[in-house]
Amino acid sequence: MASQDDEFTMLFQDFYPSLCRFLECLLGGRAPLAQDLAQESFLQLHRTAWGTLPPGEARFWLYRVARNMAINEFRKTHTRYRLFDRVVEAMRPAARNPEQEYETRERKELVLEMLQTLPEDQRTALLLREQEQLSYREIGQVLNISESKVKVDIFRARAALRERWSRKVKVAGASVS
Amino acid sequence: MNCGFTEKISSLIDGELSPAEAREVERHLVMCAQCAETRADFLSLRSQIAGFEPSLTPAVQNRALAKILSMRSRERQPAAFGFAWKWTAIGFASILIVALSILLIPSKQPQQVAVNKPAPASSPTPAPTIAPSEAPRPQQPQQPRRKPLVREPKPGEQFAVNSQPQRSTEPQPVRPADAQTMTALHFEKAETLLRAFRNVRLNEPDSANEVSYERQRARQLVYQNMMLRREADANGDVQISSVLESLEPILLDIANLPDKPDDAAVRVIRERVERKNIVGLLQVNSTALARALD
């Protein structure tokens, strides 16, 4: 049992941060909620599927469960969590390097803003590709869709983001000049 | 975005095109400035999204892990208690069976003897006639009864005993097949990575982005490579183990490249890949594995 816990700990250390990142992007930057859902996904894995999944499958299982949880959250009322998240953000200790922190936050907010303009399925597929480096086949496995749909979703997401990005840059350029 | 190749560029940067298709798109990219720009934009988007840092502190992570493990151990306790109760109940039930069989045996035994009598032709001696007498009751019930009590529950017990190890051993016959699937997928991914790494054009402005992406992929593959190599060693699969073993240092080299690697470092790795013919080796083995799985 101890070695099972060790293995679980290893898996947790490897994938908890990336699962948090995935959920945070999916949920539009609601970090505390993302961390809770990531923790809940791991807890479910430990309770139900740990030890029965073939090696390497646990990761896909986690993303599938986490994504379903995120979708459930979309369906719930958003305001309560947004308010809570803002309170948590406000309570967070100040950054050590404020300038750097400001830049990082700006960049993060921009990425999140762009991602939020995408439909949920395209956003999820793109995140799994760009952040988790899953292949189309693996993404299809996680989302339970065909590889061709994954391919189309990712392409559409990229094309849409590219267009919005260039529009944003143009607007920024115009305001500077 | 009017060029017919735009969608293929998306697949190209994901390493999802066949080598022939990839070559075709690469050739087109040299000629079409619009598509080259699209590719650069897609790669830039990639680095923005992949570079997103989660708002996570080590303290939060450690707390989450501690919480999961503690909740799990709390859940285990009542389970162990229930398990102990189950065994106590089984113990009581077996004592009850012993008591009942002691009471019922005197009426059943003559029947058993009558049945046993014709069957063993090798024992014509009327030994059982001694048994039905009431005098040896305290002796007789103990010996033959213990036998059935020890023997009869055995099949039942075997189910109970086997049902647990079977569960734990159940994944074992499944695992090798899954490990094979994982290895085949891993070979495919590594092959795609090495091909993409080979195709990075070092003189272009996006090359740093591309290299950093391949580096991230390599980091993920290194971990999986180690796991699969351990699995192959445990299963005694020498061939797969040796392929994984020769792949590992190359993945490590790519994974350990600095943020802005100089061309020479990239070239050295490429030369090693070529010299060891890793791409060919991976292709042959992934095809063989895929065939075996079919």
| CA atoms of B212 and B239, how far apart (whole Å) | 31
CB distance B227–A111 less than 8 Å? no
Beta-carbon separation of A55 and B46 below 8 A: no
Q: What tens digit of pLDDT does each residue of B268-278 get?
A: 888 888 777 78
Please count the other Cβ atoms lying within 10 Å of the Cβ belonging to residue B238: 10
Calculate the average pLDDT of chain A: 82
Residues from chain B that touch A163, judged by Cβ atoms under 8 A, are: 1
Q: What are the pLDDT digits (tens) for B227-283?
A: 888 877 777 777 788 888 888 888 888 888 887 777 788 888 888 887 777 887 787
- Report the phi/psi class of residue A146: left, alpha or beta, with left for phi > 0 and alpha for psi in -120 to 50: beta
**pLDDT per residue as tens digits for the range B77-104:** 554 445 555 566 667 677 777 777 777 6
Centroid of chain to Cα B110? 57
DSSP-based three-state secondary structure for B170: coil
pLDDT tens profile B15-72: 999 889 999 999 999 999 999 999 999 998 998 898 888 888 888 888 888 888 887 6
Residue with tokens 């490990």: B179
Of B10, B53, B56, the CB nearest to A104: B53
Give the residue carrying structure tokens 């944003």.
Answer: A168
ipTM above 0.90, yes or no: no
Tokens 């095109």 sit on residue: B17
pLDDT at A86: 52
What is the rounded CA–CA span in Å between residue A104 and residue B51?
10
Burial class of residue A147 in the structure, from the number of CB atoms within 10 Å of its CB (0-12 exposed, 13-18 middle, 19+ buried): middle
Give kind and range of the element (H or E) at residue A42.
Answer: helix A31-44
User: Which of the 8 DSSP states describes residue B53?
Assistant: P
Q: Does A63 touch chain B (CB under 8 A)?
A: no
- In the prediction, which pLDDT does A37 show? 94
d(CA B159, CA A151): 49
| Res. A137 pLDDT band, cuts 50 70 90 | very high
Nearest-CB residue to A111 (from B38, B52, B72):
B52
Residue range A56-104, pLDDT digits in tens: 788 899 999 999 999 888 777 554 445 555 555 555 555 556 777 777 7
Tell whether A42 is within 8 A of chain B (Cβ): yes
Assess contact for A39 and B67: CB atoms under 8 A. yes
Taking CB atoms and an 8 Å cutoff, what residues of chain B touch A5? 69, 72
**Using a CB-CB distance cutoff of 8 angstroms, which residues of chain B are in contact with residue A21?**
52-54, 56
Minimum-distance CB partner of A55 among B61, B64, B179:
B179
Q: Residue A32: pLDDT above 50?
A: yes
Q: What does the pLDDT read at residue B133? A: 38
d(CA B97, CA B145): 11
The Cα A38–Cα B108 span in angstroms is 64
Structural contact between residues A130 and B46, judged by C-beta atoms closer than 8 angstroms: yes
Residues 105-164, chain A, touching B (beta carbon < 8 A): 107-108, 110-111, 115, 126-127, 129-131, 133, 135-138, 151, 154-155, 158-159, 161-163
d(CA B195, CA B278): 10
